Structure 1
Amino acid sequence: MSQSVPAAPAVPAPAQLMDQLAAAAAAYYRHFTALAAERGLTLVQGKTLSLLREPRSMRSLADLLACDASNMTGVVDRLESRGLVRREVDPADRRIKNVLLTEAGEQTVRLIRAEMMSSLTGLEQMSEDERRDFQALLCRVFPGTAAT
């Protein structure tokens, strides 16, 4: 009796990969949006908090979130009124205000991140080599996204 060798999967076209990446990003942000909403945050507010691993200027936040600086002011105002961030003068240039997480903001980011990780179990199941390869591929596709 002859055994048939399963055919190798078809190599996806770049457009197929782009569509799959778009679907993965949409699923990620749907979940992130839901978790942020559970804490009374909008998607942009949640993303702002997640970008504040280090103090950032309002301009830097606006650039990273691809929004107008005037919109960023409103986002930061609302986060500050909830005690999740604070502003402080940049020691190198007193005209610049940096935004920093408060302890409550750090806790909120930790909770959202932990819940996101609990749903992305595939990342935890990857070997160290697979994670390195995955990161290298992401950096190759999106050169400006090297992990910090």
Structure 2
Amino acid sequence: MPGHPRVDTGQLMELLSVSLGAYYGDFTAAAADQRLTASQAKTLSVLRRGPAAMRALAGTLACDASNMTGIVDRLEKRGLVRREASPGDRRVKNVVLTPEGERTIDAIRASMHATTAGLATLDAEERATLHALLSRVFAPTPEGD
């Protein structure tokens, strides 16, 4: 492409690594302000998309099912999530975000000042382009992961 420097995959991967590190640091600090670990906050964020079975949560968060149980137990104790039977299989427990959990993840996102400031440097067209590119690069697999 004329006028655009050639960027190879390694350079993109490095920039993604730096970007995700900055995002994760901002997210972790905001979660700590809510007295949550990053894993607990990430669980709330995932549940924002809708209820999920424990096994699916563990897969999405790339953690052991027993670790997921501990995370959900602590979130449930604080009233941020609740467990309910799956409509399709009463033996399966879905984890559901409570209204307090929604308020908490909203507060975390609102406290991510470095990320918000970085995104604010983009105009509407650039934001739409970034959204489209990230959606394409990180499109869900056919299994929904």
Q: Secondary structure at the match of 1:94?
A: coil
CA-to-aligned-CA distance 1:86-119 (integer Å, 9 cap, x gap): 1111112101111112222111111011122674
**Aligned match of 2:6:** 11
Residue-pair matches, total: 138
Identify which range, 120-129 or 23-32, moves more after superposition: 120-129
Give the counterpart letter for 2:107 in structure 1: L
CA distance in structure 1 between the partners assigned to 2:101 and 2:127 by the alignment: 28
C-alpha deviations, 1:17-75, integer Å up to 9, x for none?
11011011011101111111122111100100111121111111111101111111111
Match of residue 137 from structure 1? 133
| CA 16–27 in structure 1, closer or farther in 2 if over 3 Å, else same | same
Runs of 4+ aligned residues of structure 1 deviating over 3 Å after TM superposition are none
Which is greater in Rg? Answer: 1
- Pairwise CA RMSD of aligned residues? 1.9
1:33 aligns with 2:28: yes
Task: Output the TM-score relative to the length of structure 1.
Answer: 0.83
User: Which of 1 and 2 has higher RCO (CA within 8 Å, sep 6+)?
Assistant: 2
- One-letter amino acid of the counterpart of residue 127, structure 2: R
Question: Counterpart in 2 of 1:90?
Answer: 86
**Mind listing any 5+ residue stretches in structure 2 that lack a counterpart?**
none
